[in-house]
């Protein structure tokens, strides 16, 4: 079965559905991946802030894979929004008295 995923909310639902379809608890999946249940719960709750490598490992462990499909221009209703920029920590500009 194929699932179209265009938003973190959709990804959240697909990850949970895949896990449940395989009769795995979050703890079971965590053990397969070498992480604890809380980490799986956090990833399922907020996949949009989880690194792709972690999402890809979960998808593979659930027996699925990512496929990127090019959408014909005629069927696009509006252009995709650019991804938001991540905030980064800035080094302090204060001079040290050392």
CATH of the domain at 48: 1.10.260.40
Question: Considering the domain boundaries, does residue 79 fall inside one?
Answer: no
Q: Closest Cα partner for 64 from 76, 35, 5, 94?
A: 5
**DSSP-based helix, strand, coil % in the chain, nearest 5:** 50, 0, 50
| Count: domains in the chain | 1
Question: Considering the domain boundaries, does residue 88 fall inside one?
Answer: no
Instruction: Name the burial class of residue 8, with classes exposed (0-12), middle (13-18) and buried (19+) by CB atoms within 10 angstroms of its CB.
Output: middle
Place of tokens 């221009």: 73
Question: Considering the domain boundaries, does residue 91 fall inside one?
Answer: no
Question: Considering the domain boundaries, does residue 41 fall inside one?
Answer: yes
- Name the residue range of residue 43's domain: 8-70
pLDDT per residue of the chain (98 residues) written in tens, 0 to 9: 888 898 999 999 999 999 999 999 999 999 999 999 999 999 999 999 999 999 999 999 999 998 988 888 876 666 666 767 766 655 444 443 33
Question: Considering the domain boundaries, does residue 39 fall inside one?
Answer: yes
> How many angstroms separate the CA atoms of 24 and 53, rounded?
21
């Amino acid at each position: 079965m194929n699932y179209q995923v265009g938003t973190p909310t959709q990804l959240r639902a697909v990850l949970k559905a895949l896990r449940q379809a395989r009769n795995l608890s979050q703890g079971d999946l965590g053990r397969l991946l070498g992480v604890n249940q809380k980490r799986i719960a956090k990833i399922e709750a907020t996949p949009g802030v989880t690194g792709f490598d972690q999402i890809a490992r979960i998808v593979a462990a659930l027996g699925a894979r990512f496929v990127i499909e090019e959408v014909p221009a005629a069927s696009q209703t509006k252009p995709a929004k650019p991804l938001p920029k991540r905030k980064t920590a800035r080094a302090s500009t204060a001079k040290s008295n050392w």
